[in-house]
Amino acid sequence: MTETAKTVIIEEHGGPEALKLVDREVGEPGEGEIRIRHAACGLNFIDCYQRSGLYPMELPHALGMEASGTIEAVGPGVTHLAVGDRAAYAAVPPGAYAEARVMPAAQVCKLPDAISFEEGAAMMLKGLTVQYLFHRTTPLKAGDTVLFHAAAGGVGLIACQWAKSEGIRLIGTAGSEEKCQLALEHGADACINYATEDWVARVRELTDGKGVDVVMDSVGKETFEGSLDCLKPLGMMISFGNASGAVEAFNLGLLAQKGSLKVTRPTLFAHIALHEACQDMAAMLFDKVASGAVKIRIDQRFPLAEVAAAHRALEARQTTGQTILTLD
């Protein structure tokens, strides 16, 4: 009898109503693959981009980029994982919204006993994103100043704590006083309510007119130009998301006019493409969490069957911290 697992798929791009829960066959792992039984799944904006068609996919396709669980079977050539291991991952191809799946093993990481399955599901994509933002994109050192948009979101709360643990000053932005307070409680040096303040002017005020060394911006279209105005000369703009829409084309000469600025548009999956790099990045993330320097705050839990409601909450910016899908 072939085993099946409840899996969330889309058959066409669209809104949350396009998400369907179906039974799918789960086979045996082949060369370089594992089969994992999930305990929890993470929820990320990239899932919404793939569902909507902003990031087109060949359809039908399963969704979800991160999860945690127990290794059930190991294919030939896999040496870093064994049956029974606790594991977590952020990886392609999508398919994490499922009770179980077969997938490539290279980006699946052994999860330390000190970290729960729920934390593991909530932290991998966002935590590895923070790791590459602070350690693999541009040199950062204690005393530098970073502007971080959406500081009370899933990536943001990890970034606030990460910055504090390394002596980096983080100025956050968020859309309400409550969210600003949350960012401050997690280590932000200051947080600007963009709903009530001119955040560009406030950043300049907080930096004595000098600007920040680096902007980390996952909001995209709404904040891009203002973010450039917050940078000091030779500063780095890291645009790593599109929550408000894709950044529009702009005149490259603006970078010269505003102080020989630098701009990059990285993705996590380019950084973790090599097995060794992924495992090293995960080891640093696990150390941060196990030591208590970074705490994974899970504020929303939805059963797998209620994934559409989870997407609606995320897109309406009604969430803080991490959101997971539970598999009871």
pLDDT in tens, 73-83: 999 999 999 99
* Residue that has been written with the tokens 């960012």 in this structure: 183
Q: What is the mean pLDDT of residues 100-125?
A: 98
Are 140 and 214 in contact, with CB atoms under 8 Å apart? yes
- Beta partners for residue 100, in sequence order: 37
pLDDT in the model for residue 218: 93
Q: What is the mean pLDDT of residues 263-285?
A: 97
**What confidence tens digit (pLDDT) does each residue in 183-234 have?**
999 999 999 999 999 999 999 999 999 999 999 999 888 899 999 999 999 9
Going along the chain from its start, the domains and CATH numbers come out as: 4-125+269-326 (3.90.180.10), 138-265 (3.40.50.720)
- Beta partners for residue 90, in sequence order: 66
Contacts 24+ apart (CB under 8 A), 201-210: 203/147, 203/171, 203/230, 204/230, 206/171, 207/145, 207/171, 207/232
Residue 2 pLDDT level (bands cut at 50, 70, 90): low
pTM of the model: 0.94
pLDDT in the model for residue 1: 40
